[in-house]
């Protein structure tokens, strides 16, 4: 078993009802999906307020960055990363000049990220050689509702002793691709790849969770083929 039954993912509450609902629904779905198809056991996600809640309880925190955060939020999330947590910043789209299929969906993305008081490690694009891309599924890309822009991780020198990045930044709106409503129907359409892109987004979510729970331990790929065969049944 990879994790205790009460392990939870968390998302930062933004105060925007639509954004917060997408985060809740997206992380609830990907937690349940991961629990059903791997040995991880995850409870429904928690909505948190950094600076007020105990962040040490969560192996992964998803932060849909909509506006520049307060200093207390930055201080809490910086400490979280420094003590072994994995923070995902998702700008959920980007400016019109981006290579992302979400270009223009979030015109404040670059300015919000630039204005954050969070202490960011030096970053580089995620490549297929990184354990994150093969810790469960073999990923060639990491799409969400959008695709096309690079996913950024900490450079090797800024990772922890187990070579695990404390920070991932994406423009791809992962929660938007994962989110299902009460009937199990997807809430939003991936652009431009539709359901095939959603499948890849779900697989990206599983890898993110396994990576957060196990880190570089999953570099051993001896059982991947058998695991994937089991998932296809």
The 10s digit of each residue's pLDDT in 129-167 is: 999 999 999 999 999 999 999 999 999 999 987 788 999
- Tell me the percentage of the chain whose pLDDT exceeds 70: 90
Of the pLDDT bands very low, low, confident and very high (cuts 50, 70, 90), residue 34 is very high
What is the C-alpha separation between 222 and 225, in angstroms, rounded?
8
Beta carbons of 199 and 20 less than 8 angstroms apart:
no
The set of residues, in sequence order, having a beta carbon less than 8 Å from that of 57 and lying 6+ positions away, is 8, 10, 46
Question: Could you give the domains of the chain?
Answer: 10-231 (3.40.50.12140)
Element (H, E) at 10: strand 10-12
- pLDDT, tens only, 107-138: 887 778 888 899 899 999 999 999 999 999 99
pLDDT at 222: 35
At residue 228, does pLDDT exceed 70?
no
- Answer whether residue 4 shows pLDDT above 50: no
| Helices and strands (H, E) in the chain, number of each type | 6, 7
DSSP 44-100: PPEEE-BTTB-GGG-SEEEEE--SPPPHHHHHHHHHHHHTT-EEEEE-SSB-TTSSS
Q: Please calculate the CA angle 16-62-138 and round it to the nearest 5 degrees.
A: 135
Distance CA 215, CA 221 (A): 13
pLDDT of 66 reads 85
């Amino acid at each position: 078993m990879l994790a205790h039954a009460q392990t939870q993912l968390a998302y930062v509450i933004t105060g925007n009802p639509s954004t917060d609902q997408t985060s809740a629904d997206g992380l609830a779905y990907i937690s349940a999906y991961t629990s059903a198809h791997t040995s991880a056991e995850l409870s429904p996600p928690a909505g948190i307020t950094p600076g007020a809640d105990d962040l040490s309880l969560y192996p992964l925190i998803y932060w849909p960055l909509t506006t520049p955060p307060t200093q207390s939020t930055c201080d809490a999330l910086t400490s979280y990363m420094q003590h072994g947590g994995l923070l995902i910043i998702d700008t959920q789209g980007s400016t019109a000049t981006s290579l992302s299929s979400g270009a223009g969906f979030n015109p404040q993305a670059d300015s919000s990220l630039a204005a954050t008081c969070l202490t960011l490690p030096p970053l580089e694009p995620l490549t297929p050689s990184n354990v994150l891309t093969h810790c469960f599924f073999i990923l060639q890309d990491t799409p969400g509702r959008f695709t096309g822009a690079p996913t950024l991780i900490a450079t090797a020198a800024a990772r922890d002793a187990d070579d695990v990045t404390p920070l991932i930044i994406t423009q791809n709106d992962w929660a938007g691709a994962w989110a299902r409503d009460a009937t199990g129907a997807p809430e939003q359409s991936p652009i431009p790849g539709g359901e095939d892109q959603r499948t890849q987004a779900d697989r990206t979510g599983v890898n993110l969770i396994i990576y957060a729970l196990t880190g570089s331990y999953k570099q051993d790929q001896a059982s991947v083929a058998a695991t994937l065969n089991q998932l296809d049944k």
